[in-house]
Structures are given as structure tokens and as C-alpha cells.
Amino acid sequence: MKFIENENFIKGLEVRKAVLGPNHVERSLAFADEFNSAMQQLTTEYCWGWLWNREGLERKQRSLINIAILTALSKPHELKLHVHGALRNGCTQEEIREVILQCAIYCGVPAAIDSFRTAKEAIDTFEE
């Protein structure tokens, strides 16, 4: 077994599948090898088991905050996954749009143009 199934990992795996979709998560874990499995361990345990399980913000709010962060940091690959996550968590297209418009003002117009392009692709390819 390549992963350490501690408490955060187990809780994290469940949330991660609920937000990013079970197919995506199972594929990521299946492709993990000696080079990158520690990254899968860390992400599952620390992002999903530790952070996303905390109280104080609803999942829907965490999704919108991630869209802002990923726009600010210019991370289109992760943004696409997290737009899907936002839709799974019940965010509306209107809310996603408003977050990216807010980024246009605070992160600059080029960051927002890139994220609108990525988010549009994510919305168009989303099927649940």
C-alpha cells in the first residue's frame, strides 16, 4: 500500500472525492508512483483532511475563495478542477463570475481574462 491511511487521509479522501469527483481522485491516486505519491498523501491529508474538514466556512464559501486564490496565483489547471468543485458544492455561475470580476479589480485585468477563459471551459465540460 503506497499511502499512510491515517485519520486525516481517510477523512480527506472522502471530502476530496465529494468535491473534485471520485473519478478524478481515483485516477490521481492510481497514477501515483514513487516519485509523486508523497504529494498525493500531503494533498489528501493536509488540504482535504485538515483544511476542508474544518468548521467555520461552508464548502461553498471555500470553493469561491479558492477561485479567487487560483486566479491571483495564475494556476489554470487547478482552477479548472476547482470550478468543477464549486459547481458540485452548489455555487452558481453568477457567484463564480462575481468572484472573477472582483479579481479583475484587485489582481488586474489579465489575470481575470485568463480565469474567465478557463472557468468557461470548465463550465462547458461539467456534467454531473
Task: Kindly tell me which of 60 and 88 has the beta carbon lying closer to its own copies.
Answer: 60
DSSP summary character for residue 122: H
Rule CB under 8 A: choose which of 43, 88, 89, 126 binds its own copies.
43
State the DSSP string of 53-120. T-SSS-HHHHHHHHHHHHHHTT-HHHHHHHHHHHHHTT--HHHHHHHHHHHHHHH-HHHHHHHHHHHH
46 binds its own copies (CB under 8 A): yes
Q: For residue 84, what are the CA distances in angstroms to 66, 108, 123, 124?
A: 12, 24, 7, 10
Which 47-106 residues touch its own copies, going by CB under 8 A? 47, 50-51, 54, 56-57, 61-62, 64-66, 68-70, 72-75, 77-78, 93-106
Nearest approach, Cβ of residue 117 and its own copies (Å): 8
CA distance 57 to 126: 24
Nearest approach, Cβ of residue 1 and its own copies (Å): 19
* Site residues, its own copies (CB under 8 A): 34-36, 38-39, 42-43, 46-47, 50-51, 54, 56-57, 61-62, 64-66, 68-70, 72-75, 77-78, 93-114, 116-117, 119-120, 123
